[in-house]
Amino acid sequence: MIVCSCNVIARQQIEAVVTEFLERDEWQLITAGMVYHAMHKRGKCCSCFPRVIDVIVRVSEEFHRRRQTPEAEIVPFVARLRSEHERCETARALARERRLRRAA
């Protein structure tokens, strides 16, 4: 399934990159920008970022469950991951809105 139509990136490609990041550091907060940078791609319209974030969160959670990380560590990690992504998405949406207002 294609997640990013601008760069023609499939969900499986994103999953593989996220897993590589987690194998290097299982507690790092992976961003869509980090994933695209690792793939030598960049966000163009960036409308795919919410879907990329969903993949990052799901793969991170599954990674820790496979490793039998204690639930008490997974839950706050996933919550922190979601919170950080929401913060970034809000900032991105506000910046986009400002750009559109300036252009109008």
Q: How far is CA 79 from the centre of its chain?
A: 13
User: Restricting to residues 41-80, which ones interact with ligand FES according to CB under 6 A?
Assistant: 43-48
Is 5 near ligand FES (CB under 6 A)? yes
Residues 6+ apart with CB under 8 A from 11: 1, 2, 3, 55
4 forms part of the interface with ligand FES (CB under 6 A): yes
Task: Report if residue 19 touches ligand FES, rule: CB under 6 A.
Answer: no
What's the CA gap between 70 and 15, in Å, rounded? 22
- For ligand FES, the closer of residues 6 and 95 by Cβ is 6
Q: What letter would DSSP give residue 55? A: H
Q: Is 89 in the site for ligand FES (CB under 6 A)?
A: no
Structure tokens at 23: 């194998």
Give least dist CB 41 to ligand FES, A. Answer: 8
Residue 68, SS3 per DSSP: coil
Instruction: List residues binding ligand FES (CB under 6 A).
Output: 4-7, 43-48
